[in-house]
Amino acid sequence: MRGRLCREQTVEGDAVSTRLINFKKGEAILGLVTDVTAQKNYEIELQEGKTHLAQAQHIAKTGSWSWDLISGEVTWSDEMFRIYGVDPKDFKGDAWNIIDNLTHPEDREKLRNITDNAIRQGKSIKT
């Protein structure tokens, strides 16, 4: 049984897909309808939450960031870019580079040591 996708679309909260299936004695169309209303509502709520967080950070002039130790990727909120005056297009997202270039020179060594120890011990850094 082999088939090729004929059509896939979303209609009023339902994901609809059809597939044309070829049999030895002819063809048939298989249709599948999945209600994705709850998923769409969660996506809307998530986006609204992100928008509210960004607005709150902007008003409070505070930002947030995360560092994935496995991939090494650092992610900044929009407000972090504004606070540090960094263009998101120029952002490399390397934590050590951030420490070396955006931390006050008198604080760099201490921050590097705290960060190294936290990574080695598997603990979070409280700031």
pTM: 0.62
pLDDT score for 108: 94
pLDDT in tens, 38-92: 888 999 999 999 999 999 999 999 999 998 888 888 999 999 999 999 999 988 8
Q: Which residues contact 46 (CB under 8 A, 6 or more apart)?
A: none
pLDDT score for 86: 92
CA distance 124 to 67: 11
Strand partners, 7: 18
DSSP 8-state class, residue 90: G
Buried b (16+ CB within 10 A) or exposed e, 6-25: eeeeeeeeeeeebbeeeeee
CA distance 32 to 8: 9
For residues 93-113, give the mean pLDDT: 90
